[in-house]
């Protein structure tokens, strides 16, 4: 398998964690977002969206959450979704609340558009960033306080943890105060004791 990857991309970070949790071997192909390689002809021929990650496993797949579902069906070892349909739906909803309602507002291309194209100041960019993290994490903290055991949903890692850890890494880079989110902090600390999460870390 070949992962089109960028170390600090939260969406790529999700897949590194999932691949590690499932014990799958993969080759990383670096697509440097800061140098704009994702917008180059070579990469756009593979993925017209010009976004990372993409995963090649005979076929080329895009969109991290679609790829997590793919991995779950193709490689069921170390399941990252519960079996029971009600639980599975709740786990998907928690992961999507990060992937649809927090991450898309705060990723590199959006922050760049705000400052470069819309000419907002660095301070306004930070106001924007902190607002959406704070709104998203406030709801998530409340939900996780009910669903969490050792991990976000019960006592095994799931796609919620796979999405949560990169989002918190990102929030920390932007110095978002985390004191109001004790459950989130506790879960992330727990995840980070696992080899699969350590090896997926952008600094690794």
Candidate residues 8, 78, 101, 185; the one interacting with its own copies per rule CB under 8 A: 101
Interacting positions 44-63 with its own copies (CB under 8 A): 48-51, 59, 61-63
Pick from 52, 13, 55, 53: which is nearest to 201 by CA? Answer: 13
Candidate residues 12, 99, 160, 176; the one interacting with its own copies per rule CB under 8 A: 99
Chain centroid, CA 58 distance in Å: 23
Candidate residues 1, 37, 70, 134; the one interacting with its own copies per rule CB under 8 A: 70
Total of residues contacting its own copies (CB under 8 A): 42
Task: Mark the segment that binds its own copies (CB under 8 A) among 23-31, 98-106, 165-173, 182-190.
Answer: 98-106
C-alpha to C-alpha distance for 190 and 185, rounded to whole angstroms: 9
Report if residue 69 touches its own copies, rule: CB under 8 A.
Answer: yes
CB burial class (10 A; 0-12, 13-18, 19+) of residue 45?
exposed
Candidate residues 40, 113, 150, 177; the one interacting with its own copies per rule CB under 8 A: 113
Question: What are the tokens at 203?
Answer: 């600094």
- The residues that bridge with 148 in the sheet, in sequence order, are 154
Q: Which is nearer to its own copies, 21 or 160 (CB)?
A: 160
Candidate residues 2, 32, 74, 192; the one interacting with its own copies per rule CB under 8 A: 74
Sign of the four-CA dihedral 39, 160, 98, 84: positive
C-alpha to C-alpha distance for 19 and 1, rounded to whole angstroms: 10
The DSSP letter of residue 113 is: I
Report if residue 92 touches its own copies, rule: CB under 8 A.
Answer: yes
Chain centroid, CA 190 distance in Å: 17
Report if residue 93 touches its own copies, rule: CB under 8 A.
Answer: yes
Task: Mark the segment that binds its own copies (CB under 8 A) among 137-145, 147-155, 180-188, 193-201.
Answer: 137-145
C-alpha to C-alpha distance for 118 and 18, rounded to whole angstroms: 36
C-alpha to C-alpha distance for 114 and 111, rounded to whole angstroms: 5
Binding site for its own copies (CB under 8 A): 48-51, 59, 61-63, 65-67, 69-70, 73-74, 85-86, 88-90, 92-93, 96-97, 99-101, 103-105, 110, 113, 117-118, 120, 124, 127-128, 131, 139, 142-143
């Amino acid at each position: 398998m070949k992962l089109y990857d960028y170390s600090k991309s939260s969406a790529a970070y999700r897949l590194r964690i999932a691949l590690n949790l499932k014990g799958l071997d993969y080759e990383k192909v670096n697509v440097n977002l800061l140098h704009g390689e994702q917008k180059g002809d070579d990469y756009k021929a593979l993925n017209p969206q010009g976004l990372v990650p993409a995963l090649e496993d005979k076929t080329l797949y895009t969109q991290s959450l679609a790829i997590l579902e793919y991995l779950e069906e193709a490689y069921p070892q170390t399941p990252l979704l519960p079996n029971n349909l009600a639980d599975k739906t709740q786990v998907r909803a928690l992961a999507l609340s990060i992937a649809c309602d927090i991450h898309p507002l705060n990723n590199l291309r959006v922050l760049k558009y705000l400052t470069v194209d819309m000419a907002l100041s660095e301070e306004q960019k930070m106001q924007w960033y902190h607002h959406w993290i704070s709104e998203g994490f406030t709801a998530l903290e409340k939900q996780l306080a009910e669903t969490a055991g050792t991990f976000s949903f019960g006592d095994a890692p799931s796609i919620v943890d796979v999405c949560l850890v990169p989002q918190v890494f990102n929030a920390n880079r932007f110095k978002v105060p985390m004191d109001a989110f004790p459950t989130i902090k506790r879960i992330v600390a727990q995840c980070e004791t696992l080899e699969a999460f350590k090896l997926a870390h952008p600094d690794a």
